[in-house]
Chains A and B, each alone.
Chain A
Amino acid sequence: MILVFIEHKNCVLNKTSLEAIAAAQSIGKDLGLKVSAVIPCDKDCALAQEIAQYDIEKVIVAKNEKLGTYTPDAYADAWEQVIKATEPQYIVMSHTYQVRDFAPKVAARLGREVVGDVIRYSADGGRLELTRRIFLGKLDADVTIGGDAPYFITFQSGAFRGDSAAEGSAAVETMDVQVGDIRMTAEDPFQEAKATVDLSKSQIIVAVGRGIKSQENIALAQQLADALGADLAASRPICDAEWLPIDRQIGSSGQTVAPKVYIALGISGAIQHIVGMKNANTIIAINKDAEAPIFDIADYGIVGDLFDAVPVMIEEIKKAKG
């Protein structure tokens, strides 16, 4: 059997969990295993009926009053019991921030580890080979897991399509779980003061990465942006260094954008950056490393030094604009 984790906040589904259902269904088909979904909740979760509309065997609501707000301690206790009671072969989850927080803890408690952030898998002779990106997206690694079940796998967002999860009908079951001491207390989640720039409406974005080398050089990117009538954005390290304010950050912890044109200057193309800009119409990358992963998703690329390319671009744009 395969258990799949359904993530939610106050019984509102986190849609990436549908990707996990699709992944679990796919593995289930390849290995001849049934799939059940697990929803940790403090009540008879309103979400259970929604998840029961998918082609899985059971929806298990792991219920305890301490599961109302997420804490790693409560989730680990709940999962430990569900796993011990159901003895699954695989536990499949989406690689969300919440899953990063508790899945390795559950696995470790059972003497296991997680094969995390998997982008695809193959099943040969009943054995899974899982592919993960390593070295910040520069290499792929095919990985196998040793030892006995259960095996923990988390899939990268986008590895499966949520809307491809097969529909059907499942039984809903409540499992009362014990939750011990919670060693942390959570305050309410919040958003930082509204971003002053909303890059989601930008038509053209010039984004700078660590390849820009120093704060002074940001001015060069700004000149290019000005020439194009574009907005300036950045990868995380640039905002971490405070060369640009955090509301210019694109990626999983920053803004998600879909401009007509996205020009990446000296950005390597780590997955956490790409998720924030991959839906741009046209992606242009300038990078001196021909193997930089950003070129995997770029429509146009220049392999070379951005400090050679950008001044020429500014000149040429001025000429073109007359």
Chain B
Amino acid sequence: MNGYSFLIFIDMKIIVLMKQVANKDAVLRIGADEKWINENDIAHQTNESDGYALEEALRMKEAKGEGEVVVCSLGPQSAKTVIKDALARGADRAIHVVAEDSKTLSPYQIANAIADAIREENADMVFSGLQSDDASYGQTGVILAELLGIPHATLVIEVDRSKLEGSVRIKRELESGWYQWFNYKLPALLTIQSGISQIRYASLKGIMAAKKKEIRDVTLPLENFASAQKIEKVYMPLKTKQTQMLGNGDAKAGAVELVEKLKTEIRVL
């Protein structure tokens, strides 16, 4: 490591991508055009892994003692809820790429718009979630890294916060319980896996402080992208297995029937 790298990172800047998605427990109804769900009266939340990405960014800033955490979300005005929550939890400011019809955008289009919105920030690190819980493209972060010309790592499950001098040492999750550490020169983009650390709640103080923080709205001409993937139709998955439904909607009656099955059909009692 070179002798003055600490000078470069006194002002470490981390941009965190956060997406607003349908609440996990929301009952999904297919929209009239059958190309997405009807989002009108649905509860929303922050995409799960993005919450972890923010938490990791805040912890890195705290470990470093100084720096800036900037949240960036692309979506309709309603995505402000996600942004405000992030600011209340400790992010310093936000960039909102306002796009009312963001559900129809492909991952390349989203990444391209975000790249245009954040390129001049010259961040030391960009964090995204691993995957969005609605579209589940699993690639917006990786495409963004390529468009910004910076290296990336996916499925990051630990960051070595003791070593942050111009490079970063990160642990990636591989399949079936395997892991691997990688070293990256900064700048770099990391896609964060859920569970990297325990997420803090917004404090009352944080909520108050958030009111004074900057949210910069950006509207960009969303370019047409010829190679976009396009959803033609969404529908309920076809059932593959014959399931015996017990209790007919009455959980207690179902429990009684189930124990009977455990005894007579499944034979484990």
Contacts and interface: CB of A to CB of B under 8 A. Distances in A.
Contacts of A204: 268
Interface in A97-148: 97-98, 100-101, 103-105, 107-109, 111-117, 129, 132-148
A301 B243 contact: yes
A197 to B, nearest CB: 13
Contacts, number: 277
A299 B243 contact: yes
Nearest to B111: A108
B11 interface: no
Which interface residue of A115, A186, A316 has the most chain B CB atoms within 10 A?
Answer: A316
Given A115-B229, A135-B37, A313-B259, A254 B155 contact: no
Contact of B227 (A139, A146, A240): A146
B208 interface: no
A259 to B, nearest CB: 10
A171 interface: no
A308 B179 CA distance: 40
Contacts of A189: 174, 178-180
A44 B153 CA distance: 28
A27 interface: no
Contact of B234 (A141, A148, A252): A141
A104 B236 contact: no
B175 A317 contact: no
B240 A297 contact: yes
A7 to B, nearest CB: 11
Given A113-B143, A129-B232, A316-B255, A138 B28 contact: yes
B209 interface: no
A254 B151 CA distance: 27
A74 B151 CA distance: 11
Given A100-B154, A184-B182, A254-B177, A300 B226 contact: no
B27 interface: yes
Contacts of B194: 236-237, 240
A101 B260 CA distance: 47
B180 A134 contact: no
A184 B142 contact: no
Interface in A139-183: 139-148, 183
A143 B230 contact: yes
Contacts of A216: none
Interface residues on A, range: 35 or more
Interface stretch (A30-38, A47-55, A85-93, A283-291): A283-291
Interface string A69-85: 00111001000000000
Interface string B77-101: 0000000000000000000000000
B107 interface: yes
Given A145-B229, A190-B179, A261-B262, A304 B249 contact: yes
B231 interface: yes
Interface string A256-290: 10001100000010000000000000101110010
Main secondary structure of the interface of B (DSSP, over half): mixed
Interface residues on B, range: 35 or more
Contacts of B147: 108
Interface string A59-77: 0000000000001110010
A77 B115 CA distance: 22
A312 interface: yes
Interface in A190-206: 190-192, 195, 203-204
Contacts of B133: 135-136
Interface of A: 71-73, 76, 96-98, 100-101, 103-105, 107-109, 111-117, 129, 132-148, 183-192, 195, 203-204, 210, 228, 236-237, 239-242, 252-256, 260-261, 268, 282, 284-286, 289, 291, 293, 295-306, 308-310, 312-313, 316-317, 320-321
Given A300-B261, A303-B251, 7 more contacts: A142-B232, A143-B229, A286-B251, A291-B236, A302-B245, A320-B259, A321-B269
Interface of B: 22, 24-25, 27-28, 30, 37, 48, 52, 106-108, 111, 133-139, 142-143, 145-147, 151-155, 173-185, 188, 193-195, 198, 225-241, 243-247, 249-252, 254-256, 258-263, 266, 268-269
6 contacts: A104-B139, A143-B229, A236-B195, A256-B176, A260-B266, A284-B258
